[in-house]
Amino acid sequence: MENSPKKIRLATIWLDGCSGCHMSILDMDEKLIEIAQYVDVVYSPYVDAKEFPSDVDLTIVEGALSTDHDIAMIKKIRENSKLILALGDCAITGNISAMKNLFGSDGVLQKGYFDLADINESNAYPSKIVPKLLDKVLPLHEVVKVDYFLPGCPAPYNAIYEMLKALIEGREINIYEYTRFGK
């Protein structure tokens, strides 16, 4: 064990997205055991960490940026991560989340919390528990430097596996052999 290489400190997070890309990570099945030999998952929906840690080697980010909380979180991730991988079309382009941009925040809040709501006894927007929406949904690279992009909706499990394996081995990969936008 003393001669074992240092494990990569890995974090994952989903912001404004459907979690489909995180489901694809789980779809790697037995390949997760292989990857686990090389990484320590230090922050993720899969583990019970409350605060984003410092000195993370790689953070995989799923989802777009749509709230003030998302902006603060992605800046904290950038400050504490050597590498960021934008996972999935939402992280790279805004994708489905960015459809809000066609109607604006006020239009989306009106439709979601008043026009289509069955229950809203206070007749008010729940501003104390819902983060403030940005005027426009943004892809990650418009706010922070992103080191790698892995498209897909959701990103296919084999593309995630091949990308992680390449990063672990320190080699380049042509990810478009495994996925593309909308795949």
Structure tokens of 149?
Answer: 């992009």
Task: Look at residue 3 in the predicted model and tell me its pLDDT.
Answer: 53
The series of mean pLDDT values per 10 residues for the chain, 183 residues long, is: 74 95 96 96 93 97 97 98 97 94 91 83 76 94 98 96 95 90 74
Question: How confident is the model at residue 104, as a pLDDT?
Answer: 92
Cβ pair 133, 67 in contact under 8 A: yes
Confidence (pTM): 0.91
For the chain, the residue count is: 183
pLDDT at position 2:
47
In this structure, what token pair is assigned to residue 124? 């008010």
pLDDT of residue 71: 98
SS3 percent helix, strand, coil of the chain, rounded to 5, is: 40, 20, 40
What pLDDT, on the 0 to 100 scale, is given for residue 70?
A: 97
Question: What pLDDT is stored for residue 1 in this prediction?
Answer: 43
DSSP 145: -
